[in-house]
Amino acid sequence: MKNNIILITGNSHRHKALSVLINMSRGINLLLSIFESNPDLKKHVEQNTINNAIKDHISTRDLIELDYFGWSNHFNSNKFPNLNKPKGWASSEDCIELIKTLNPDLIVVYGSSILKGEIIEIYRNKIINLHLGLSPYYRGSGTNFFPFVNKELEFLGASYLLLDEGIDTGKILHQIRPNIIVDDYYHISYQFLLQAFLEFIKIIENFNHLNKNIEQPIISDNQDLKYYKRIDFNDESVRLLKENIKNGIVQDYIENKDLRDSKVVISQQNI
């Protein structure tokens, strides 16, 4: 039986590509995609750059994203039920009433505003969030960016969580790491994003059969858990990322991958 779902996401190429991929799944009935706009990153870049490093970084990222997911523009959005809404609309009373009317089996979240209030309580344990980062080690913003800054590529990954009131704190259903086949940050990011999307679809399709109580990562007392905010994304962090890439951190990680990954426990199950 197909799971009837509502997707709550952003409005960039990658977000629309996820909607198209879900629509193409034979095991999912996508009732509605809600695309939220998010002007905050653009404002942050414009207001917090001195030498244009973060501005150039985002411009390059956007071009790579277009290469990977620009095909989503070729699909007639009128054939896929969708709404374009401002940031935060997904937590509004209007959205909650619409969701109640559609009565989905699951709500699927990726890259939207932080869901708050009644929607979490009403649909508790029925909201799956794709967090691009390995919780609880890296939470918040840029969680697959800062491992490059910190020379900690063993913390690259994606976490599929049951959404709760916290930020990236929900119960983990499954986690994956990237299959790295290039040494360029931007291409690693978008190749892995496609990998994460395909795994997400499998999780949605098989949600009813998943173990909802798999063992969570056991964190040692000396483990440094990191939480990043958008303000941490600045010219200096971009400089460090580029310097680390130039100095071969990707190749070093690949050569020692098994050992380094073994020191960072993640939660996985057969999907």
Give the model confidence (pLDDT) of 163-182 as tens digits.
Answer: 998 888 899 999 999 999 88
For 127, the 3-state DSSP assignment is strand
> How do residues 30-86 score in pLDDT, each as one tens digit?
999 999 998 888 899 999 999 999 999 999 999 999 999 999 988 877 778 999 999
Side chain identity at residue 101, one-letter code: T
d(CA 259, CA 241): 23
Confidence of residue 122 (pLDDT cuts 50, 70, 90): very high
For 113, the 3-state DSSP assignment is coil
- CA torsion, points 147, 148, 151, 152, in degrees to nearest 10? 30
Length, in residues, of the chain: 271
pTM tops 0.75: yes
How many beta carbons lie within 10 A of that of residue 19, not counting itself? 24
Do 17 and 69 contact (CB within 8 A), yes or no? yes
Radius of gyration over alpha carbons of the chain, in Å?
18
